[in-house]
Structure 1
Amino acid sequence: MALIALLGRNIRRHRNAQGISQEELAFRAEMKRSYVSGIELGKRKPSVDALERLADALRVDPRSLLDPDRHTK
Structure 2
Amino acid sequence: MTEADRLAQRRWFVLVGVRLAGVAGAVLGLVLIARAYSWGPKILGTAIVLSAMAMIAIVPRSLAQRWRTPTE
Q: TM-score, normalised by structure 1?
A: 0.31
More helix by share: 2
Q: Determine which structure has greater relative contact order: mean sequence separation of CA pairs < 8 Å that are 6+ residues apart, divided by chain length.
A: 1
TM-score w.r.t. structure 2 length? 0.31
